Chain A
């Protein structure tokens, strides 16, 4: 009996006439690394937008930890334990790496409308930022401006910010896009490390990454999930 943490039940999404997602059903098990593959334009990014609250589905349910999150706002979904990264690097470019992570961590400590200084809580925040920096191996770059870092460093920072709220479910949208082989190996190792004990849903085109990283793989074609299985089961299938 496996425990499902995120489930899509008969999810549809259309923009006007265009039906992007049709009848999508998916169970993501707690603690697994689950990859979604499929041709371009299959609706992978839309699927992520639906799960993270950017779009509301036209119909169907999205269940996170037994609660229907379809139609909730991004901030609310985040509070329920699901965090995502973006296909296009989406960081705070004009401030330091440290500040980027601090902005991400403060939310977890409910430091939002606080305009007095709560030293103890801030100390805790700084401690966690340090830990995150170590985890994503950017301690030495802590005081550089985010906009001045290399592409793969920015991707690492992006992943670090996704981790900051200590989410149960992480959605990574093509984390290796545009990387060299070396950078891909590096980031792949990083993802394996940081998702330990969490659930990962990942969209990725690099099949070697998918097969080495994922416990299970789902195939999305024309907005429909046509198959789900372990890498061994899907290996003979043309990707």
Chain B
């Protein structure tokens, strides 16, 4: 298994290194976004998955890193002490400091209180930002330029990609090593039973603050990479939907498995990118996927996959794979029906459509290369029908799988 993991990792890294030759520029641009989202999710995963502290305000540390990097870019012009490739260090430093301050307050409480305080702190920063024009640049934000350094111009997309890749992989490696250190191990104790930790003689408030700060540091690096990529920062990065996205992505991937958040972050960013032309309600899908994952795959996608592989014989694996394929196929039917319905309703309710409709006049709606009349029963029956068939099939598959399991046991 160890060798298997290593092989998968090597292939993965090799693919990432070769990516600029394999995909188009726009896809490479998406890959940069995916890497940043993956690193951000890993930073969140350390705090939430490993130490059990659920933060609803991680955009704050991402944003602080992003703004610090832009200011540093303008101050140093990419030269001297801070050449362009080292700019994420500024994000790391400011992220860590802001994490120490915010962590000091928020780890005074645990559990749901902690979650609420992190959200409130992020909203505080978000509310203050418009008043601090010098720091956050007001509506327009602050822009800058990547300067050449170390013989690279950083003008081409592939150079930016490699810069992001090296930082992301390096940070993930550091996060892995961190999980092996004493402090990283104690994080588990905080998650499992902070009360007992106190009776073992640990200072849980200080431990929590430190782990919070480390997580904020990596979030700051991710923010700085974003600024390097966009050559600008705007206080949109402090908005709640950034915090929301990292929570959703990490849990969809699975926070308790090491690579879960990274894979969740990368996957969801990828889907967001490819669907951005097709749908206007991607966030809605993201929310629905999250709720479904939490209800039916509480370990997250990666966590669930690992769990299946760990507890199965080879024969069992084949059986699991068969059931899984059937289940995925039936779910795909249901998902298609559901997506069709949502998209149809979205188009039906859109302001463009409302402007043309009215007075008993209901023009047709184009969707999935066909035109549908909203007053006919056809589109509704099609969408709801597919959805129902898919759900019914899934239930049949589940029932048969359960019966098979009972028979074999």
A interface residues, Cβ below 8 angstroms from B: 52, 73-76, 78-79, 83-84, 86, 90-95, 99, 102-104, 106-107, 111-118, 122, 161, 164-165
Contacts and interface: CB of A to CB of B under 8 A. Distances in A.
Interface residues of B, number: 27
Most A CB within 10 A of own CB, among B177, B188, B200, B210: B200
Interface stretch (B3-11, B178-186, B279-287): B178-186
Interface in B162-205: 177-178, 180-186, 188-189, 191-193, 195-203
Contacts of B210: 113, 115
Most A CB within 10 A of own CB, among B185, B191, B198: B185
A39 to B, nearest CB: 27
B122 interface: no
Nearest to A164: B200
A90 B214 contact: no
Nearest to B198: A74
A212 to B, nearest CB: 28
Contacts of A115: 178, 181-184, 210, 214
Contacts of A106: 182, 185-186
B193 A52 contact: no
Nearest to A167: B201
A230 B191 CA distance: 44
A113 B200 contact: no
Nearest to B177: A117
A92 to B, nearest CB: 4
Contacts of A122: 182
Contacts of A75: 198-203
15 contacts: A52-B199, A74-B199, A75-B198, A90-B199, A92-B189, A93-B192, A93-B193, A94-B191, A99-B188, A112-B182, A112-B207, A114-B181, A115-B182, A115-B210, A118-B182
B179 to A, nearest CB: 10
A92 B192 contact: yes
Given A113-B183, A115-B183, A115-B214, A90 B201 contact: no
B64 to A, nearest CB: 21
Contacts of B191: 94
A103 B183 contact: no
Contacts of A104: 200
B186 A103 contact: yes
B214 A95 contact: no
Contacts of B186: 103, 106, 112
B206 interface: yes
A213 B280 CA distance: 73
Enumerate the 6 nearest inter-chain pairs by beta-carbon distance, A residue then B residue, closest first.
A78-B201, A92-B192, A111-B182, A115-B183, A114-B182, A103-B189
B201 A107 contact: yes
B404 to A, nearest CB: 25
Contacts of A114: 181-183
A218 B285 CA distance: 66
A178 B291 CA distance: 40
A238 B170 CA distance: 69
Contact of A112 (B188, B192, B195, B202): B202
A92 B198 CA distance: 13
A74 B196 CA distance: 10
Given A95-B188, A99-B185, A113 B206 contact: yes
Contact of A103 (B177, B195, B200): B200
